[in-house]
Amino acid sequence: MLQQGFFIYSCIMDLEKIVLEAGDLCKQVGAFILSESKTFDRNRIEEKSLNQLVSYVDKSAEEMLVKGMNALLPGAGFITEEATIATQEKEWMWIIDPLDGTTNFMHGLPVYSISIGLMQGKQMMAGLVYEINRSELFYAWHNSPAYLNGEVIRVSVNNKLSDALLATGFPYYDFNLMQQYLGALQEFLKGSRGMRRMGSAAVDLAYVACGRFDGFFEYGLSPWDVAGGAFIVQRAGGVVSDFGKADNFLFGKEIIACAPGVYEALTNIISKKFGR
């Protein structure tokens, strides 16, 4: 027990070092993904379920990340998208999406990322998003500011929905809430400066964190899509919740992330349209 307690204490004290080394690992894996994009063969695509695509690139990148994370934090568990390692409950858990924006990658659209979260118990302790084509590394750890390539970032100071640029993700496999989603989308198209759909939830969240977007919402997401980016938004001064204004966004398959000034206006529309 003493050894385990020392391990946990050491992890907390070394979080900055762990995150910075994890960032270097993201850049290495990102270089592999970018290299593969130049010669990628669409005939090697697998479909896990409706519009849930995966390739050897996703799997290889995840294996590289898991190996590197094991070295950074021995004894930690993993929650991964491609299940290259079995999920095993541990005190510390890495939550990894090796290629968020797989469809973009497969079609040659240059918006995709690596998303990593680190959780202790039920508390997020660190997050990283590496936007591969722009070489932009967003990251934060427990009680730290949020950073982009070493510079502190903050969410937007905008407090008017009419001036807000918003991001979303279109439903692509779960269409049960399509009418509710389209109703909210209509309200935002009329009442904001505009809507964008990047194709990577992790990138959307990172862009909220640095103020490029004022807000983001999407449903049908998994923990690995949002763990890293949501934490970074929070450390950048943003607000993150589920559609009902509660905190079940990590495993609840829906998320709102935005600047504090537009949170009420944004969530009121979403809560009303989705019946939360």
Q: Where are the domains of the chain?
A: 2-152, 161-274
Q: Distance between CA 56 and CA 86 in Å, rounded? A: 18
Angle 135-127-133 (CA atoms, 0-180°, nearest 5)?
A: 15
pLDDT in tens, the chain (276 residues): 334 444 444 555 589 999 999 999 999 999 999 998 888 766 666 655 444 556 788 889 999 999 999 999 999 999 998 777 767 789 999 999 999 998 899 899 999 999 999 999 999 999 999 999 999 999 999 999 999 999 999 999 999 999 999 999 998 778 889 999 999 999 999 999 999 999 999 999 999 999 999 999 999 999 999 999 999 999 999 999 999 999 999 999 999 999 999 999 999 999 999 988
Q: β-strands 194-196, 165-168: how paired? A: parallel
Q: In what order do the strands lie in the sheet with 123-131?
A: 77-80, 92-100, 113-120, 123-131, 136-141, 146-148, 151-153
pLDDT at 88: 76
Distance CA 101, CA 188 (A): 24
Q: Say what the pLDDT of residue 196 is.
A: 97
155, 188 Cβ separation under 8 angstroms: no
pLDDT 10s digits, 59-114:
899 999 999 999 999 999 999 987 777 677 899 999 999 999 988 998 999 999 99
Could you please state the CATH topology (level 3) that the domain comprising 2-152 is classified under. Answer: Fructose-1,6-Bisphosphatase; Chain A, domain 1 (3.30.540)
Q: Which residues contact 95 (CB under 8 A, 6 or more apart)?
A: 78, 79, 80, 116, 117, 118, 119, 223, 224, 227, 228
Q: By C-alpha distance, which of 23, 25, 77, 81 is closest to 55?
A: 81
- Number of residues in the chain: 276
Q: Using CA atoms, how far apart are residues 118 and 26, in angstroms rounded to an integer?
A: 14
Separation CA 246–CA 40 (nearest Å):
41
For residues 240 and 254, what is the distance between their CA atoms, to the nearest angstrom?
10
Report pLDDT for 187. Answer: 96
Range 161-274: architecture per CATH: 3-Layer(aba) Sandwich (3.40)
Q: What is the pLDDT of residue 99?
A: 96
- 3-class secondary-structure state, position 232: helix
pLDDT of residue 53: 52
At residue 102, what are phi and psi to the nearest 5 degrees? Answer: -60, -40
In SS3 terms, 191-218 reads as HCCEEECCCCHHHHHHHHHCCCCCEEEE
Tell me the C-alpha distance between 51 and 161, whole Å: 32
pLDDT of residue 3: 44
Q: What per-residue confidence (pLDDT) applies to 173?
A: 77
Whole-number Å distance between alpha carbons of 20 and 189: 39
- The residue type of 92 is W
